Amino acid sequence: MNHTRWKLSRERKTNEGYVEPPDVVAEREQIRLALALGQLVYDRRVTLGLTQATLGERLGMSSDDVEAVELGGMLPITADLLVRLAAALDVTVELHVVADGRNSVAFEEHAA
């Protein structure tokens, strides 16, 4: 079986000339960033040895809300959330937003 012939439906449609509406592209990018942020939060929380409940206390959220952030389900990502995460996780949040959609989010740990 040759899997190289398999294509995602979206990729196949794009090759046929279909262009996604801008709102769909923007929503897809928001979801991608939320998932990336969630992974960063999880990794940093584990590195610090914090439980979701403890991080929730630092953020003024429930542990269920922390779980939602870690799973990428906290949309939209707000400046308030980023500021609270930076303080609670002792990091600098670097958010790069560019017109072509190659947006990124990263944490920089503070020096000890």
What is the DSSP secondary structure assignment for residue 111, as one 8-state letter? P
Q: Return the number of other C-beta atoms located less than 10 Å from residue 13's C-beta.
A: 13
pLDDT digits (tens, 9 = 90+) for 75-102: 888 999 999 999 999 999 999 988 877 8
Q: H or E stretch including 44?
A: helix 22-48
pLDDT digits (tens, 9 = 90+) for 64-75: 999 999 999 888
- Domains of the chain plus CATH, in order, are 20-109 (1.10.260.40)
- List residues bridging with 105 in a β-sheet: 95
